[in-house]
Amino acid sequence: MFTYQPSTNKITILLFLLVITASSSVKGQLTITFPFDGAVFQRNTSNMATISIAGSYTGGVERVEARLIAVAGGTGVGWTSIDTAPAAGIYKGTLNGVTGGWYTLEVRSILFNNVVSTATLSRVGVGEVFVIAGQSNVQGIENHGHKASVDANARIKYVDWLLPCPDGTCQNVYPPFPQISTLNSTDQAVHIAPNGITSWAWGELGDALLSRFNVPVLFFNAAASGSSIGNWSRSADGLPAAHPHIGIQYANNPNFPYHYLRKALNFYASLFGIRAVLWHQGESDLVKNRNADPNDNTSAAEYRDSLNHVISRSRSHSNKVLLPWVISRVSYWEYGSAPFTDSEVIAGQNLTLNPTDKIFAGPETDVILIPRPDGVHLQNVTNGTQGISEMATSWNTYLDNNFFANATPYAAMAPPSLTLGCSGGTYSVMAPAGAYTYFWVSGNNDISTAFSNAQIITPGAGTYRVYLKDNFGNIILSQSVTVPGGGPTSPSLTVSASPVVAGQPVTLYAQGCMGSVSWSTGQSGYSISQTPTQTTTYSATCSIGSCASVAANIQVSTCPATATLSSPYVSGQTLTIKASNTLIGVNAIRAGANITYDAKNSVTLQPGFLAEKGSIFTAVAGVGCSN
């Protein structure tokens, strides 16, 4: 009798190769489509914010994790599960309690506790968001010596877009998809959406706030040159009002200048949140008060009532019932004879102040740069008074710690969740139900390119987003969803071991399916456990909605613990016979056969065993079939 004993080295090598094969088979891709690179989200009064994170993936994913790496200020957040049930290529979740600061965002997809793929967003921040409103001394003017942010970490941000006003007629259009820029350029072509011109004082103010709080700052500018308080008050109700300096309808559109502000609040403040509106207006009302027509004057009471109406409408239109406002005291214009300030206008501004109602005092700018080169506008004079810079300093002074403690901000609105479905071979994308108007676009296109206003769309292959407008006019923007070009892809199947001992458990794995996996056993999921008692073929499909892939198959072979082989193997047969314990051979291997006996513990050849000349016989002990 001959007995062949196991080789432990061979066991070690084969097991190592199995692990490598199981973990490197099917890779997927991962993208971040919300938030946007460079976005700044408004922090609360505790210096924290929630950051919504969403995107797309391919292949199989069981959960998605995210982390924040602090770049400048802030406190990093370690790997955190944000979606434990991603579905149909879509994930969405949040990181809560993120402290004010500037971060790199990393996201990774997980399957079988292994990282499938990672994605990175270079910069995202938690900090301050302001909307500027008023007239040209905060809107900005070209070639007035304005400066820009000098922050080395590019943390003072804006969106570069100017609302179109062809031939002087301003358009009721929605802002485009937000592309975040850094306010570090003095270029004359910089436009702080929706109507700002140049970096003006805002890059400097951003740097000043940054030096105090070490958080990024995002600005929007809704100011309008030459506008009177009456223009703002009447246009808040869509009523016509003449431009105080040229006598025709302001902007040839009764919705302006107020609609600059409304668009900033409904679009940008919805996406990013907001701390306050920074108001600086009154110069045009000095001019009105010096007109010959006494009925066209602006009294203190009229200014107060008109500004309160604008504040009230801004709050109701944006559904931010206590939206903070900061009111500058301003009236200076070298018009007519001195004095070039207006006590009625200043009194009206002071009468508006009401910290209990979140209306705070802003800077008194009538004392800055007197006289002024063009009689009205601030300027950084070459080798002279830096008027624009002084205004930035004054804003920083009035936005003091008491203001930040009491001006309760509004957080960004969470992006809507989308669902990818499929029925009858046709994909659908569904947005949340509710009192919304839907604007579906391809890629990152603008609302003006919307191809559908339905809650559910059935598009062809491509990438899509939806803008949702609520009853107040607030816009929220979804993540992107990628619709595949064909039906669901069949999963790639692997097994923890095969062959296996009959009656012993094995794990079956499905990879490469971004939908749900259904097995022939009636089970579902990316992995299942089975206990085959005989060689069995298993199948699985990948489904999105009711659309299923072609089934993928995998065979799991079983073998006995001990077997005695007595039947002969004949010419032409090539076989490997396995056992989890012992194989006993008492049979004949005829010429022309190629036979391997493979057992975990031993191969025993007893009397009666014969390997004829011309046959190939191999005995392997130490492997066999085992879990």
Question: 111-166: per-residue pLDDT in tens?
Answer: 999 999 999 999 999 999 999 999 999 999 999 999 999 999 999 999 999 999 99
What does pLDDT average to over the chain?
Answer: 93
Q: Percentage of the chain surpassing pLDDT 70?
A: 95
pLDDT value, residue 18: 31
Q: Which helix (H) or strand (E) segment is 393 a member of?
A: helix 387-398
Grouping H, G, I as helix, E, B as strand and the rest as coil, residue 395 is: helix
Would you say residue 199 has pLDDT above 50? yes
The predicted-structure confidence for 7-36, as pLDDT tens digits, reads as follows: 433 322 232 233 323 343 456 899 999 999
pLDDT band per the 50, 70, 90 thresholds, residue 338? confident
Task: Look up residue 615 and give its two tokens.
Answer: 């046959």
pLDDT value, residue 21: 34
Would you say residue 501 has pLDDT above 90? no
State the Cα torsion 134-139-144-149 to the nearest 10°: 120
pLDDT, average across residues 89-94: 98
**Alpha-carbon distances, residue 308 vs 35, 236, 299, 330, 409 (angstroms):** 34, 11, 14, 16, 19
Task: Look up residue 29 and give its two tokens.
Answer: 């891709």
Would you say residue 65 has pLDDT above 90? yes
The predicted-structure confidence for 207-240, as pLDDT tens digits, reads as follows: 999 999 999 999 999 999 999 999 999 999 999 9
The predicted-structure confidence for 342-384, as pLDDT tens digits, reads as follows: 999 999 999 999 999 999 999 999 999 999 999 999 999 999 9
Grouping H, G, I as helix, E, B as strand and the rest as coil, residue 552 is: strand
Better pLDDT: 608 or 202? 202
pLDDT value, residue 1: 52
Give all domains of the chain, ordered by start, each with its CATH number.
127-164+178-222+273-406 (3.40.50.1110), 420-485 (2.60.40), 487-558 (2.60.40), 560-621 (no CATH)
- List the single range of 283-297, 325-339, 429-443, 546-560 with lowest mean pLDDT: 283-297
pLDDT band per the 50, 70, 90 thresholds, residue 585? very high
Question: What does the alpha-carbon distance between residue 119 and residue 107 come to, in Å, rounded to a whole number?
Answer: 5
Task: Look up residue 529 and give its two tokens.
Answer: 């456990």
